[in-house]
Structure 1
Amino acid sequence: MSEGDVLRLKNWERAWRALPLCLLVVAALITVTDSSAPAHDRAITTALAAAVALWHWWMVMTHPDWPERALAPMAGYFAVLLVMAWVLSMRHPAYGLLVLACFPTAFATLPGGYAYLGVAATAVVVVGGPYALLDTARPWSIASALAGAVLAALIGWSIRALEAEIERRHAANRALESANQALESANLRLAQLGEENAELQGRLLTAARQTGVTGERSRLAREIHDTVAQGLAGIVTQLEAAEEAANDAEALRRRLAVARNLARENLSEVRRSLDNLRPGPLTGTTLPEALSALVSGWSAVNESPATLTVTGTARLLHPEVEVAVYRAVQEALANVARHAGARKTGVTLSYMEDVVVADIRDDGVGFTPPEAGGAGFGLTAMRQRVVRLAGDVEVESAPGQGTAISVTIPAIPAVTDQEGL
């Protein structure tokens, strides 16, 4: 419903409510100008008409929300109006206009089906009151009044049906406007969420990129430490030993040969790391075999007894798991060679149901384990590599009581070529 239709409907309602006043004024003017009646009677009639006008003004014009909503005040209003209209029409015929105005007023003020009771009561007043219905001398006047009542009822019903349809359309339009506003609000919210999502996605991409860069730097640092740094440390150790054995030609040749082999092995290891391959010792062999070669080679180079024990059923694990175990043992043995001064070292590789554990123990000088954040780079890199696989590193040591390092990693199985397809 447009604003023009709403305005016309309100004007129509105001016209219906003002109709009794208009007809009352016309009747009052006729009465005042009628000189056939005594002046005293005309004054009383005019006073009664003024009282009716005041009554209608107060009950209907100043309280437009009462009609069709409050039965009690409107029923009282209409009863008083109808009685006063009857009294005035008895005093002067001109006020029959006010009686006729009660037909539409019943529909304008009484709610629901009570309007038809008002029409029936008005029809009774039109014929002269309840007793007039029993007067058989005026059958045609009674029939005319009844016909007028029926006609008024039909007109009132039609008007109410039209108003109900208009109101229904008005309600539908209001609902449609509310739905459109809700849709616009939802679209606006979706647009805002889209902008927020785009901004959040940008932040996540930046954070992921930064995390990737940091992770790659950490990986490269671990690879360099596990290959170049340890290899160079071993070479330096052999060259220092060769310098001390300068007078012993056989020992000198042996130390130089070991240093040369270490340099070649680490050069090959660096090349493999750059190609992002598995560590050389794990290429084409199993983890127990690679650790056996590592332990025996370490024992020969450092001239210190070291043994490897394998428990459980050895099986092929995910390459990253095997690399982490191998690097952890390699780092632990390097620390034993540099710091422990151990007489013997033992490495145990345990295959369990859901984890693989590597224990490295020595009987060296021991130390007081630092906090996780204060450990050296080698132990920190070991922890980072193991934790990245949801594993754990434990260090137990005390001055003069040796050192034990335990590395536990989930035994993630290797993916076969068929499973990877």
Structure 2
Amino acid sequence: MLRIKDWDRAWRLLPLVLLAAAALIAAADPSVPPRDKLVTAALAAAVAVWHWWMVLAHPGWPERAPAPMAVYFAGLLVLAEVLSSRHPAYVLLVFACFPTAFVTLPGGYAYLGVVVAAFAVVGDPSVLLDTGNPWPAASALAGAVLASFIGWSIRTLEAEVARRRAANRALENANLRLARLGEENAELQGRLLAAARQTGVAGERGRLAREIHDTVAQGLAGIVTQLEAAEEAAHDAETVRRRLGVARDLARESLAEVRRSLDGLRPGPLTGTRLPEALSELVSGWSAANECPAAFTVTGTARLLHPEVEVSVYRAVQEALANVARHAEAAKTGVTLSYMEDVVVADIRDDGRGFAPSATGGAGFGLTAMRQRVVRLAGNVEVESAPGQGTAISVTVPAIPAAAEREEG
């Protein structure tokens, strides 16, 4: 497909092409004496040099410098007329002046050049003044009008093409800016997600530290106290047995607290198994224990996620099913685990009696703890329910890959 620059180059070369064609025709004409052929060829060479110097050698002059272009066009017409008077084949060069006027003359001067070229085609000015034969004047006028229309059409088309090209460039630049903004937003979102994950990890570690301090550490302190008391009462067997019994009970309670804390970090059902399998066992066990039909479905491609993500999803489903058992009076329940590109979603639905979330602030049936756990991972919990219409809970958390755990370590 030809571009605007290609068309401009073609129009500028057109006079030389037609001049060469006319020169070949004139040189091959046997009726012209050799001397006249040499003179005509010299004039044709002068026209070629004139056009090359004024148009091709100085491409910045056309449409920018009216004075030199007016001199050029006048000289071209004069030389074309002289050549056409020496041989009719050079009328081709006169016709070439029509498009050349629009190539070289700026603005409205091009139309004036077309009119002058039209009268030059007619030749003898006296013919135009002959009232008895109006056809030469009419032909010159019609030629001028037709050439002007064609030139105006070409200029309008070129202007429209240039406008559309500028609009396309502006659109491409806007798309590039939007693409860069999209990349920056994606990078920022990744940073925010990582920061939220780090905040959630730090919060969970703080919670475990508090639980250990309030339970295990206090239990160990009590054991030490009981052992010291037993040592002091070594002569009293009954007191020693009682103190050791208390210490043993405290040790068991502390061991249970340690196990509970470890289960809070990663529940036993998730140890050595994947989240879908663990949830499937959870749902089937819940269904058997509560004598309520429950279906479990997985969508998307299951993949190993960060332990805290899997724990949050597992605990959320566990809490939601416990709420169904305690409050919903449902006839059937469904759980769906959906793996998406950036998030993993757990949907828990039941056909129970439902409730009005607005009446409980959206935190009824023990949902507060679930929200707190999920929010620590920059996730969210959505609850849809109405009295008599069942309940749907949707838990969404970032799909942080398991590799992030290794990087964190």
Query: Normalization by structure 1: what TM-score?
Result: 0.44
Higher relative contact order by CA 8 Å / sep ≥ 6: 1 or 2?
2
Structure with max Cα Rg: 1
TM-score, length basis structure 2: 0.45
